[in-house]
Structure 1
Amino acid sequence: MGSCRRSGTGGPSPRVTRTARPSRRPDVAVPLSRALVAEGLGTFALVFFGPGAAVVQAQTGALGHLGVAAVFGLTVTAVIAALAPISGAHINPAATFALTLAGKFPRARVLPYVAAQLLGAVLAAFVLLALFGLKGGLGVTVPAGSVAQAFVLELVLTFFLLLVALRSGLPWVVGGVVALGAAMGGPITGASMNPARSFGPALASGLWTAHWLYWAAPLLGAVLAVAANHVLSPTEPVEPRPHLAQEFQPEGEPT
């Protein structure tokens, strides 16, 4: 690079100058303060619209169970599409944990990201409390069956959500998996798949029944998703995938 080579006709070949492309990784290129604002706003939106839809359903019956699931999925899709270029749009401590285990996110930013996610969730839950009171329990996640049943269901739902996010990350795909999980598991566990989503409404409502499982199960699901993704792709992704929501492009990689 930068040298002058002779061509087959004896003349000098054109000088080729290459410039390094700036990194597109949100965790590298974007200041931490901006990334934290994006994570806080994204998680605020998730809790405001998702559990908010559950509250509206409890109050009016207008949405139905599948309608609430659709609101969750559409919210995640919109948030990822809007905020992934800034922060990666984790909006979920389990997603941040999974990306860190997979070596795709810097460890130094884990605690600030989780703090921003929890803050956004708490603020949204208290806004819902101010608007609706405790109708619908603010969409708090509480097991309808046994704790063991809820734990396994949350683990499996989170596992598939994060596996899909690690391998695809496209906004509509991740949002679709969230809607699918909410449709299937919502009546049993609330289909949290996200400790921040459970923490905000629990704090605002004061309902902490079996709250620990909404941390333990998603985090364990994250570990299993990373392990499964490594088995499926031990070195590189199957193919280049632009505009990923939750997997960052390696620094300096051409687009």
Structure 2
Amino acid sequence: MAESETGTPTASAPATPGTPGAPLFTGLRVDSLSYDRKSMPRCNKCLPLDSWASPNQCFTDFPRPDVSLTRKIGAEFVGTFILIFGATAAPIVNQKYNGAETLIGNAACAGLAVMIVILSTGHISGAHLNPSLTIAFAALRHFPWVQVPAYIAAQVSASICASFALKGIFHPFLSGGVTVPSVSTAQAFFIELVISFNLLFVVTAVATDTRAVGELAGIAVGATVMLNILVAGPSSGGSMNPVRTLGPAIAAGNYKQIWIYLVAPTVGAIAGAAVYTAVKLKDDEGNAETPRQRRSFRR
């Protein structure tokens, strides 16, 4: 009962069936950096919003873009080309101009190249840029095996194209961009294995775990690449990526100990991805994890 202005009690209008007793959108947040992903339903097709009229259903349908394999391969080719061009050009310039870049400059060029490519093409192809990463993701069921050959073909061809472009620009100083060990074979192998482990541990965290801040993936992965090169650059070259070594080796005709850079990064990558997958938190302790789409670097 409610009172009118004259003090006479009046009957309240009966509540309309289905009318919520609280504001419809109190505290609603859809910011990808702040909303509680655990508490919201995942339909894997649209934004996870609840409406009072139809609980546990999507409020507005926003279908995820269906990116064709051709577009993914194109983005992967361009992204790998940019990475190999930037990461290889820095040590070549360092050689040509008597140490002008320094080790920090070499590491920064590679890290920045990784960061900008992830930020620009991650939503299209996932920005793998690395056959070892692609194989590791496929082995851990974060990526379909059927697309692995196409991704690796794009990465290898982009590396070769970027390396011959560098050869045409900086000839005869291409040898500075080839990763060759300056330590023993065993030391170089384990250095590449460990830094590849570090890289894929971080990549798996930011690319596959819903609790990680996916929008910062480019910064996290680029910083990891930079750190690894600062540590391993003087010893093994800090490759972490078979195509980082393969393309320049083909262009320069220098295949010294190339097997290290094909095997060690792949073994380290699979180990790093597997360890993070083993230790990461589950969505609901004791309950089956809600199925969701693997996103790689895709949002």
User: Aligned in 2, Cα 1:206/1:237: closer, same or farther, shift over 3 Å?
Assistant: farther
Which residue matches 1:228?
275
Q: Secondary structure at the match of 1:168?
A: helix
Which residue matches 2:192?
154
The aligned runs of 1:31-70 (5 Å cut-off) are: 31-60=68-97, 61-70=99-108
Which residue matches 2:64?
23
- Whole-angstrom CA distance in 2 between matches of 1:49 and 1:245: 26
Which residue matches 2:25?
none
Contact 2:123–2:298, Cα closer than 8 Å, also in 1: no
Q: Is 2:232 the counterpart of 1:185?
A: yes
Q: Is 2:261 the counterpart of 1:214?
A: yes
Contact 2:118–2:297, Cα closer than 8 Å, also in 1: no
Q: Which has the higher contact order (CA 8 A, sep 6+)?
A: 1
Structure 2: gaps spanning 5 or more residues: 1-13, 20-51, 208-216, 286-293
**What TM-score do you get using the length of structure 1 for normalisation?**
0.84
Cα-to-partner distance string for 1:111-139 (whole Å, 9 max, x where unaligned): 10010011111000000011111315051
Which letter does structure 1 place at the counterpart of 2:91?
A: A
How far has the Cα of 1:31 moved from its partner? 0.6
User: Aligned in 2, Cα 1:43/1:31: closer, same or farther, shift over 3 Å?
Assistant: same
User: Aligned in 2, Cα 1:30/1:11: closer, same or farther, shift over 3 Å?
Assistant: same
Q: Secondary structure at the match of 1:71?
A: helix
Contact 1:72–1:178, Cα closer than 8 Å, also in 2: yes
The aligned runs of 1:110-149 (5 Å cut-off) are: 110-149=148-187
The aligned runs of 1:59-98 (5 Å cut-off) are: 59-60=96-97, 61-98=99-136
Contact 1:80–1:245, Cα closer than 8 Å, also in 2: no
Cα-to-partner distance string for 1:173-197 (whole Å, 9 max, x where unaligned): 1000101111110111110000111
Highest CA radius of gyration, 1 or 2? Answer: 2
Contact 1:125–1:138, Cα closer than 8 Å, also in 2: no
Which letter does structure 2 place at the counterpart of 1:131?
A: I
- Whole-angstrom CA distance in 2 between matches of 1:157 and 1:192: 9
Which residue matches 1:252?
none
- Whole-angstrom CA distance in 2 between matches of 1:88 and 1:192: 20
4+ residue segments displaced more than 2 Å:
8-24, 234-238, 244-249
- Whole-angstrom CA distance in 2 between matches of 1:181 and 1:46: 16
Which letter does structure 2 place at the counterpart of 1:115?
A: A
Cα-to-partner distance string for 1:123-156 (whole Å, 9 max, x where unaligned): 0000001111131505111111111100000000
Cα-to-partner distance string for 1:192-235 (whole Å, 9 max, x where unaligned): 00011111101111100110111110110122112211221264
- Give the percent of matched residue pairs that are identical in Structure 1 and Structure 2: 36
Contact 1:80–1:171, Cα closer than 8 Å, also in 2: yes
- Whole-angstrom CA distance in 1 between matches of 2:168 and 2:259: 26
- 2:137 is aligned, of 93, 99, 117, to 99
- Whole-angstrom CA distance in 2 between matches of 1:15 and 1:236: 27
- Whole-angstrom CA distance in 1 between matches of 2:106 and 2:244: 14
- Whole-angstrom CA distance in 2 between matches of 1:233 and 1:93: 24
Q: Secondary structure at the match of 1:209?
A: coil
Q: Tell me how large the CA RMSD over aligned residues is.
A: 2.4
Q: Secondary structure at the match of 2:238?
A: coil
- Whole-angstrom CA distance in 1 between matches of 2:220 and 2:248: 26
User: Aligned in 2, Cα 1:228/1:57: closer, same or farther, shift over 3 Å?
Assistant: same
Contact 1:89–1:245, Cα closer than 8 Å, also in 2: no
**Number of equivalences:** 233
How far has the Cα of 1:81 moved from its partner? 0.5
- Whole-angstrom CA distance in 2 between matches of 1:187 and 1:197: 16
Q: Is 2:208 the counterpart of 1:171?
A: no
Structure 1: gaps spanning 5 or more residues: 1-7, 239-243, 250-255
Cα-to-partner distance string for 1:75-95 (whole Å, 9 max, x where unaligned): 111111101011000000111
User: Aligned in 2, Cα 1:136/1:126: closer, same or farther, shift over 3 Å?
Assistant: closer
